[in-house]
C-alpha cells in the first residue's frame, strides 16, 4: 500500500509555502490573496484605490460564502459582545484571521481604508493573527466589515467561546514595572559616580543631595517594581515551600535596609544601584519569557470549535439563533461543512458526517433519516435537517469534555530544579554569613552587621534566577520561531525529562483531511476508468467524489438508471454496462466480509477490484519516527480502524505498541498505565478525543495545521508542518539545564570575589557596582550565546 506525502508549491511573490490551496494568476502560484494583489500592483502598475475581485479570474470562488453566513452580526446582542468599543460615530472591532502569515497579508489588511472609504483604520497584530478595525458605524455595518474581509480572502474566525468570555485585556503591569526599574536604575547609577570614583565633592551638601536622591529613586523599585517577586515568594511560603524568589526578596530588603542606614548615619552611599539593577535585569528575563507565549491560548475548550449561530427552522421560515437559544424539539438546518451543535435525529436529507475530531475515525459516517447524529460532527454533504433531542449542555460532545476522567492530575506536578538548587545555595549563603558573624564577634564586633549584610547582598541567588529566566526565555523564543509554542518555562524541563512518546494517528501523523487511493484488482482500461468515474461523480459521498477525482474523468459519460442505497453503494448503467460501487456485500450479495476502508467495483455484477483508501501521512513522518526511536519507545493509539495496522507496524517495528479503535477513555487509560510503569509520557494529539490523554500525560502537545485554530487544552502547540523536527526540539529542551548550571557557576566565581571583600567588611560601592552588572552581562551573553549555538547546530536557526 502506498503512502503519498503532500506536495506543496512556493509562493511566486514572498517565497512562502503555498499550502494545500494556492492562488493562481498567469500560471504563477501565490500563498494568499495579499501576495497576489501586491504582485499585480508592483508588476502591472495597477491602482489600489479600489479592489475588484473579478480582476482575478478563478480566485473569486475561493471566497464563496453562504449569503447569510454572517447575518447574525446584525443582531445587536451578538455584535455588542464582540465589539471592543462603540460610540455614535465609530466602532472598534478585533477579528481573528488565521490566514495571516506574510508581509503581503499585513499590507493588504492595513490598507482596507483604500478599499472601503468607511473604514477609518485597520491595524494588524501579526503575532496574534488579529486585525483591529475602526469603522464608521453610520455608513457600514459590522456584518459588512466581515464580508469585506471575506472579499479579499480573509474570512474572520468567530466561535461560540468569543461570546462567552470576557474580552481579554493586555496585562502591561510587568512592562510598567520594568520601565520604572530601568529608569530608576539608570539615574541611580548616574548619581553614584562620585561614590564609584571616590571623588570628594567640594560641598558635602551636594554629596548628601545625590545620596538622598538615590534613596528617593530606589523607593519605586522596592515598593512597586519588586512586588513581582514579593507575590510569588509569599505564595510559595504559604505552601511551606522555599522558592527562589524568597531569598531574592530577602536580599532586596537587606540591601535596601543597609543602604538607608548608611545614608542616614552618614557612613556611606549604600547599594541602591546594585539593588535596582538586580530587579531590573530579573524583570527583563521574566518579561522575555512572558512575551514569548502570551499570544497563544493553551486552555481552549470545546466552545472554541462551535459556531456563533446556527439556522433554526420556524413557522415563519429560517432564523439565525445563538447556541444558548437552541431548545429541545427545535429543527436545525445544517449546511455543508457546518458543525452539528447538538444531538438530534436526522429528519431530512442524507448526512455524511466527519467525526474525526470527536472519535478519531478518519472515514466519514453515513446517516439516513431517523438515525441519531451527535454534536461535534461536521456535515460534509448537502444540507440536512435535524430535530434536537438534547440541548447543548447535555450533548455528547459537552459530556465528553466535562467528564471527570479528563481532569488534570495535579499530584504529579514537579518542582523546577532551579528551586531545589536555590534551597541548597540559600543555606550555604546563610552558613557563610553565620561564620562571618562568629568570626567578627571575636575579632571586631563593630563589623558583624556590615559583613553579614554584605554576604547576603553579594551571594543572593539572583544569578541563578537570571540564568534560568534568560535561558528559558531564549529557548522559548527559538522554539516559537520554529512554530513550536510552550505553555510556560516549566514545560521545557518536563519535555526534557520524557522517556516515552505516544502519538495519535488521525490528524497527527496523518493530515486528517485528504485520503490516498490505491486500486487493487484486475487492470482497468481507459474506457472502464471513464465509466467508473462517471458513475462515481453522480454521488455526493466523499468516497465517491474521491474515486471520481482519482480516475480524472474528462470524457463525460451519460449515466442512466442511477440508484444509491444509503450507506451501501451506488449503481447505474454507463454506455450499456451495469456498474456498481460500494461495500463488498453490495456489489457481491453473497459476501459478508467488508473492508471498512475499501470501495469495491463491479461490472455486469462481477467484482473486478477495489479502491483502497488510506490515510495520507505528513511529510517526513518515517524519518521523524526513526530518529525518535533512537532514544525513546514510540507508541500509536488511534480511534481509527485497523486499516493502517500493517503499515504502522512496519514503520514502528513489530514490538511497538499500536492500538486501534480506542475511545477517549481508552486513550486516557493507556497513558495512566505507562505512567504506572514509571514512564514520563509525551502525548501528541489533535482532537477532542485526545483531550483526556493530553491532560493526563506528563507533557501534552496539540498538533494543529493552524496554531491559532481550535486545539485541546495542552502544554504545547506545534504547527503540523514542523512535526518532523520534534526530536530536535526535545534535544534543545534537554540542553536547558546544563546551560543554566554552567552560567550559574560562572556567576558563582563573581560571587566568590565579592565574598572575599564582604566577609572582611570591606565591600565598597565601587566593587559592588562592578560585580553586579559584570555578572548579569556575562549571564546574558552565556545563555543567549549557548542557546543560539545549540539551535544552530541542530539546524533550528540560520
What pLDDT score was predicted for residue 708? 45
Pairwise CA distance, residues 270 & 167, whole Å: 46
Work out whether strand 351-354 and strand 365-367 pair parallel, antiparallel, or are unpaired: antiparallel
**Does 326 or 448 have the greater pLDDT score?**
326
Reduced to 3 states (helix: H, G, I; strand: E, B; else coil), residue 533 is: helix
Inform me whether the pLDDT recorded for 502 exceeds 90: yes
Q: What pLDDT sits at residue 13? A: 62
SS3 readout for 334-351: ECCCCECCCCEEEEECCE
- More confident: 224 or 210: 224
**683 or 50, higher pLDDT:** 683
**Mean local confidence (pLDDT), 118-142:** 87
pTM for this prediction: 0.64
145-175 burial, b for 16+ CB within 10 Å, e for fewer? Answer: bbbbbbbbbbbbbbbbbbbeeeeeeeeeeee
pLDDT band with cut points at 50, 70 and 90 for residue 313: confident
Is the pLDDT score of 589 beyond 50?
yes
Q: Dihedral through CA 681, CA 685, CA 690, CA 692, nearest 10?
A: 40
Q: HSE of 286 in the Cβ direction (CA atoms, 13 Å)?
A: 21
Q: pLDDT band at 59, cuts 50/70/90?
A: very low
pLDDT of 53:
38
Cα dihedral across residues 783, 784, 790, 794: positive or negative: positive
**pLDDT band with cut points at 50, 70 and 90 for residue 184:** very high
Lowest mean pLDDT segment, chosen from 111-120, 220-229, 387-396: 387-396
Per DSSP, helices labelled H in 415-572 are 417-443, 448-458, 462-481, 490-496, 526-536, 542-551
Highest mean pLDDT among 327-341, 564-578, 670-684, 700-714: 670-684
Rounded to 5 degrees, φ, ψ at 384 are: -135, 165
- Mean pLDDT check: name the lowest of 159-173, 206-220, 619-633, 693-707: 159-173
Q: How far apart are CA 407 and CA 395, in angstroms?
A: 19
Q: How confident is the model at residue 413 (pLDDT cuts 50, 70, 90)?
A: very low
Q: Give whole-number Cα distances, 653 to 56, 303, 741, in Å.
A: 50, 39, 38
Q: Tell me the mean pLDDT in the region 396-413.
A: 50
pLDDT tops 60 at residue 295: no
For 663, counting Cβ atoms within 10 Å of its Cβ (0-12 exposed, 13-18 middle, 19+ buried), the class is: middle
> Which of the listed ranges 2-16, 626-640, 747-761 does the model predict with the highest average pLDDT?
626-640
pLDDT band at 114 (very low <50, low <70, confident <90, very high): confident
Q: What pLDDT, on a 0 to 100 scale, did the predictor assign at position 771?
A: 63
Residue with cell 559592588: 768
**DSSP count for the chain of H helices, then E strands:** 28, 28
Query: d(Cα 516, Cα 1) in Å, to the nearest integer?
Result: 10
Q: For the chain, what is the mean pLDDT?
A: 76
Give yes or no for residue 464 having a pLDDT over 80.
no
Per-residue pLDDT for 220 more than 90? yes
* Cα–Cα distance for residue pair 356/715, rounded to 1 Å: 22
Query: Are 547 and 536 contacting, i.e. CB atoms less than 8 angstroms apart?
Result: yes
Which stretch of 34-48, 464-478, 563-577 has the lowest confidence by average pLDDT? Answer: 34-48
Mean pLDDT, residues 607-630: 85
Going by pLDDT thresholds of 50, 70 and 90, the confidence category of residue 130 is confident
The reported pLDDT for the residue numbered 729 is 92
Torsion of CA 603, 608, 609, 610, to 10 degrees: 20
* Predicted pLDDT at 674: 92
Amino acid at each position: 500500500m502506498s503512502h503519498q506525502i503532500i506536495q506543496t508549491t512556493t509562493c511566486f511573490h514572498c517565497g512562502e509555502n503555498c499550502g494545500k490551496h494556492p492562488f493562481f494568476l498567469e500560471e504563477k502560484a501565490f500563498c494568499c490573496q495579499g501576495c497576489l494583489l501586491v504582485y499585480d500592483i508592483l508588476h502591472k502598475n495597477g491602482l489600489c484605490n479600489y479592489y475588484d475581485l473579478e480582476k482575478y479570474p478563478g480566485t473569486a470562488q475561493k471566497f464563496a460564502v453562504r449569503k447569510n453566513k454572517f447575518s447574525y452580526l446584525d443582531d445587536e446582542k451578538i455584535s455588542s459582545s464582540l465589539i471592543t468599543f462603540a460610540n455614535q460615530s465609530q466602532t472598534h472591532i478585533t477579528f481573528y484571521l488565521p490566514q495571516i502569515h506574510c508581509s503581503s497579508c499585513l499590507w493588504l489588511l492595513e490598507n482596507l481604508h483604500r478599499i472601503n472609504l468607511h473604514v477609518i483604520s485597520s491595524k494588524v497584530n501579526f503575532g496574534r493573527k488579529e486585525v483591529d478595525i475602526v469603522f464608521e458605524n453610520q455608513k457600514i455595518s459590522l456584518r459588512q466589515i466581515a464580508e469585506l474581509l471575506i472579499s479579499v480572502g480573509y474570512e474572520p474566525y468567530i466561535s461560540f467561546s468569543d461570546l462567552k468570555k470576557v474580552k481579554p485585556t493586555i496585562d502591561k503591569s510587568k512592562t510598567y514595572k520594568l520601565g520604572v526599574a530601568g529608569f530608576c536604575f539608570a539615574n541611580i547609577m548616574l548619581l553614584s559616580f562620585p561614590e564609584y570614583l571616590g571623588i570628594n565633592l567640594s560641598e558635602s551638601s551636594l554629596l548628601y543631595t545625590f545620596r538622598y536622591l538615590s534613596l528617593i529613586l530606589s523607593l519605586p523599585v522596592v515598593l512597586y517594581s519588586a512586588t513581582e517577586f514579593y507575590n510569588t515568594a509569599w505564595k510559595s511560603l504559604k505552601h511551606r515551600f522555599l522558592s527562589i524568589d524568597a531569598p531574592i526578596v530577602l536580599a532586596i530588603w537587606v540591601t535596601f535596609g543597609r543602604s538607608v542606614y548608611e545614608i542616614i548615619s552618614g557612613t556611606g552611599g549604600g547599594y541602591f544601584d546594585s539593588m535596582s539593577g538586580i530587579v531590573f535585569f530579573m524583570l527583563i528575563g521574566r518579561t522575555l519569557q512572558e512575551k514569548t507565549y502570551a499570544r497563544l491560548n493553551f486552555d481552549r475548550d470545546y466552545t472554541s470549535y462551535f459556531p456563533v449561530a446556527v439556522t433554526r427552522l420556524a413557522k415563519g421560515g429560517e432564523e439565525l439563533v445563538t447556541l444558548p437559544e437552541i431548545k429541545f424539539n427545535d429543527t436545525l438546518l445544517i449546511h455543508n461543512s457546518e458543525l452539528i451543535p447538538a444531538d438530534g435525529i436526522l429528519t431530512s436529507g442524507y448526512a455524511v458526517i466527519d467525526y474525526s475530531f470527536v472519535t478519531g475515525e478518519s472515514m466519514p459516517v453515513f446517516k439516513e433519516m431517523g438515525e441519531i447524529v451527535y454534536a461535534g460532527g461536521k456535515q460534509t454533504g448537502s444540507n440536512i435537517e435535524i430535530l434536537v433531542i438534547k440541548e447543548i449542555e447535555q450533548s455528547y460532545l459537552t459530556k465528553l469534555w466535562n467528564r471527570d476522567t479528563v481532569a488534570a492530575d495535579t499530584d504529579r506536578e514537579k518542582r523546577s530544579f532551579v528551586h531545589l538548587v536555590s534551597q541548597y545555595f540559600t543555606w550555604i549563603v546563610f552558613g557563610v554569613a553565620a561564620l562571618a558573624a562568629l568570626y567578627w564577634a571575636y575579632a571586631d564586633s563593630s563589623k558583624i552587621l556590615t559583613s553579614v549584610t554584605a554576604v547576603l547582598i553579594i551571594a543572593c541567588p539572583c544569578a541563578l534566577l537570571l540564568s534560568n529566566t534568560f535561558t528559558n526565555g531564549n529557548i522559548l523564543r527559538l522554539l516559537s520561531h520554529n512554530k513550536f509554542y510552550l505553555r510556560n518555562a516549566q514545560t521545557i524541563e518536563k519535555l526534557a525529562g520524557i522517556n516515552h512518546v505516544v502519538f495519535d494517528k488521525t490528524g497527527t501523523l496523518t493530515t486528517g483531511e485528504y485520503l490516498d487511493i490505491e486500486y487493487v484488482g484486475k487492470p482497468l482500461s481507459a474506457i472502464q476508468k471513464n465509466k467508473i468515474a462517471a458513475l462515481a461523480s453522480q454521488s455526493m459521498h466523499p468516497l465517491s467524489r474521491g474515486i471520481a477525482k482519482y480516475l480524472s474523468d474528462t470524457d463525460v459519460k451519460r449515466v442512466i438508471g442511477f440508484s444509491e442505497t444509503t450507506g451501501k453503494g451506488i449503481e447505474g448503467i454507463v454506455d450499456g454496462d451495469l456498474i456498481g460501487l460500494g461495500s463488498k456485500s453490495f456489489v457481491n450479495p453473497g459476501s459478508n466480509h467488508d473492508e471498512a476502508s475499501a470501495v469495491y467495483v463491479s461490472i455486469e455484477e462481477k467484482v473486478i477490484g477495489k479502491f483502497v483508501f488510506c490515510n495520507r501521512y505528513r511529510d517526513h513522518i518515517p524519518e521523524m519516527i526513526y530518529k525518535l526511536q533512537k532514544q525513546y519507545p514510540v507508541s500509536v493509539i488511534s480511534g481509527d480502524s485497523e486499516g493502517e495496522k500493517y503499515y504502522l507496524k512496519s514503520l514502528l517495528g513489530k514490538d511497538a505498541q499500536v492500538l486501534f479503535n480506542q475511545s477517549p477513555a481508552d486513550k486516557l487509560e493507556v497513558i495512566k498505565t505507562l505512567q504506572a510503569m514509571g514512564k514520563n509520557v509525551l502525548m501528541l494529539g489533535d482532537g477532542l478525543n485526545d483531550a483526556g490523554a493530553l491532560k493526563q500525560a506528563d507533557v501534552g502537545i496539540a498538533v494543529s495545521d493552524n496554531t491559532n485554530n481550535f486545539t485541546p487544552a495542552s502544554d504545547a502547540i506545534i504547527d503540523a508542518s514542523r512535526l518532523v523536527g520534534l526530536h530536535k526540539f526535545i534535544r534543545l529542551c534537554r540542553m536547558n539545564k546544563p546551560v543554566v548550571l554552567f552560567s550559574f557557576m560562572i556567576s558563582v566565581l563573581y560571587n566568590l570575589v565579592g565574598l572575599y571583600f564582604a566577609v572582611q567588611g570591606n565591600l565598597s560601592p565601587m566593587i559592588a557596582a562592578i560585580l553586579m552588572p559584570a555578572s548579569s552581562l556575562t549571564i546574558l551573553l552565556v545563555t543567549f550565546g549557548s542557546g543560539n549555538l545549540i539551535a544552530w547546530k541542530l539546524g533550528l536557526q540560520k
